[in-house]
Structure 1
Amino acid sequence: MNPRIAFPFLVIPHDAIRPEGWLIGDPGTPLHRATDVLENWDYARDLEVANSVSIDWAAAAGALQLPEDKLRLKFSLIVGTGAGTLPRRQDRLYEVIVDHDTDNVSVSGSVSGRTLSGRLWVSLLVTLDAPEVGGTVLSPKGRGSKLWQVHHDILIEDGGDSRFPVETASFSRIFGGRPYEHAPWYLHWRPGTLQGDFSAGIRLYVNSDHHEWLARVVSGDRLSLQAMMGDVMSQMVEAALREVSGADDLVDCEDGSVGQQILQWLGNAFPGQEIASVRALMERDPGAFRASLLATSEMGSAE
């Protein structure tokens, strides 16, 4: 903690709680020390994070000017994700309340890969659970008062933008009996979620039942990938143009969101054009509209 910050109440000094360091890895396997960049990761891969701390209760109670035998602290493991410097989504994965009889605390939790985007922000927060009375005028009184925190910011594969969220799947197995069972690909998303996280809310399925098509995708055949990505862009851009009234509706969307990605696609395919003129082209000449998007489509990147 920065000692120059003026808090409204006393807090626990940073060295009174000593973390062993953040660990990360696949659930159910030995975890390794977390670094600043998470490499070799994909959206189908869940993660587990953990940390352990030792507590100097005498130092903590003395700093708070509260009786050690009455002091209870809550330890919370919080995980955030999202492109940009601040997490757009935060989840509280684990909580435990301890007193002076517990010298060591371990926290851990699993994070769904489908929710991750851009950065993984892990935090261990310590708040007051009791007492709510006693101490001095500067002692913390309110339950939930923030007393100590340590966090680590992990960049996911150069910001999480290096891959479009793609999965291979047997359509006959997961989409059996549906009209698109034999389609070469299927884009799963829900229109009307422009503020939603792009990487968490979009999933492109490639049909592994079509072996020749799958081989083209895996080998990175440029025209095959361009055709597939062009269809994806057309679906999403057309839905957005029917929903928004102007560019401001997309500009207001945060970095890493569906709306921001669609705005980038529009800027690439129709540079300098107003939303109204692009919408008019879509309705007047859908062939030219889709061909313009197709000309700028490129697989392997969301941009």
Structure 2
Amino acid sequence: MRRIALPFLTLSDDSVALSEWTIGELGQPRFPLAEILEDWDYEKDLEIGVEVTVDLHQASLDLALDAASLKLAAVLVVGTGAGSLPRVTHYACIKIIDRGNTSVRLEATLAGHTLSSQLHLEIRILLDGPIASGSQLSPRFKGAKLWRTDLRVLLEDGGESRFPIELTSFTDSFQGMPEQNAPWYMQWDPSNFHADFGGNVRLYVNSDNEEIAHRFVDGDRILLQAIVADVMTQMITTALDQENEDDFLVTFEQGSIGQQTRVWIETAFSGQNRQSISAMRRNYPGRFHASILAAAELRGEE
């Protein structure tokens, strides 16, 4: 039973029926939603949907409200992010269920670049009316939560400690910009360490550079080590430049940019505190960068 211990009557599971969840790429046929969404990347937008049917007669008995005037709101809530709690949630779709329409389809389009690690899908049934009627135990406020169920879906391998990599023409994407002739370029927001790592960090590799492109596609270990080290260096140095105390990265949740940066710092500078790492960066920059390069190679072997 998914009933909630609230001071008013709620819906029994016998009152609500859900169809099979479906998912698919934007504009493509949908298929049943599994626990893991395979063969997907952050460039792909998704469409999800589920049909919700409420037995209003049973619902009226559950709530001690008149079936003829009972109105419910079916809500689809979508969240994303690693961990037990989604870092980002929004109300994706709301439909009214009443005597004339006991079955509704909840659907939403999800932008791929906003997703990270997991999809958290939740259906809520809320009271829309009548208000201040029924028995003393009947729900009396619009929006009272009467029923819920949720579902979690892993995106590929869960998306932890990874970021999307795209092979692209820098002449097309960054024409006239300083990045145009760079072998690779990382796009991220250094002001938001709370953001999901998988959904807010993107690495572009320059396909105009044929040697780099071929080595990247072939999985050249030295090139990949240099790329990962560059990503690590950008985030570690930005974190060290923060004016906060040593606990700056401690509070960040799993899957965030801050959490991944903390992991990298602990890998590259094991047993050292922030002051000693910052001192190494100032006084021995070669050792500082070599430590990150070595840590990038170790990660590549895992």
Q: TM-score range by the shorter chain?
A: over 0.9
2-structure distance, mates of 1:124, 1:199: 25
Structure 2 counterparts to residues 54-73 of structure 1, below 5 A? 54-73=53-72
Question: What CA distance in whole angstroms lies between the structure 2 residues aligned with 1:44 and 1:283?
Answer: 39
Q: Deviations over 1:163-209 (max 9, x none)?
A: 42212221111211101211111111121211121112211111122
Partner of 1:292: 291
**Displacement of 1:246:** 3.6
Q: Where does residue 197 of structure 1 map in the other structure?
A: 196
Could you say which residue in structure 1 is the equivalent of 2:220?
221
Aligned to 1:41: 40
Q: CA deviation at 1:298?
A: 4.6
Instruction: Output the CA distance in 2 between the equivalents of 1:299 and 1:126.
Output: 49
Give distance in 2, aligned partners of 1:195 and 1:103.
41
Q: Give the Cα–Cα distance (whole angstroms) in 1 for the partners of residues 82 and 177 of structure 2.
A: 35
Q: Cα distance 1:240–1:54, how it changes in 2: closer, same or farther (>3 A)? A: same
Counterpart in the other structure of 2:246: 247
CA distance in 2, matches of 1:184, 1:224: 10
Name the counterpart of 1:261: 260
Supply the AA of the counterpart residue of 1:2: R
Equivalent positions of 1:166-177 (< 5 A) are 166-177=165-176
Structure 2 distance, partners of 1:117, 1:109, is: 17
Instruction: Determine helix, strand or coil for the equivalent of 2:241.
Output: helix
Counterpart residue type for residue 119 of structure 1: Q
What code does the residue aligned with 1:60 have? A
Q: Given residue 178 of structure 2, which amino acid in structure 1 is its aligned partner? A: P
TM-score w.r.t. length of structure 1: 0.94
Q: Give the TM-score taking structure 2 as reference length.
A: 0.95
User: What does 1:25-174 align with in structure 2 at a 5 Å threshold?
Assistant: 25-161=24-160, 163-174=162-173
Aligned length: 301
RMSD: 1.7
String of CA shifts for 1:209-261, please: whole Å, max 9, x gaps: 22221111111110011111111111111011001534311111111111111
Kindly indicate whether the alpha-carbon contact (under 8 Å) linking 1:229 and 1:299 is maintained by their aligned counterparts in 2: no
- Structure 2 unaligned runs (5+)? none
CA distance in 2 between counterparts of 1:259 and 1:102 reads 47
**8 Å Cα contact 1:192/1:243 also seen in 2:** no
After the TM superposition, list the runs of 4 or more consecutive aligned residues in structure 1 that deviate by more than 3 angstroms. Answer: 244-247, 298-301
- What is the DSSP-based 3-state SS (H/G/I as helix, E as strand, rest coil) of the residue aligned with 2:238? helix
Q: CA deviation at 1:299?
A: 9.8
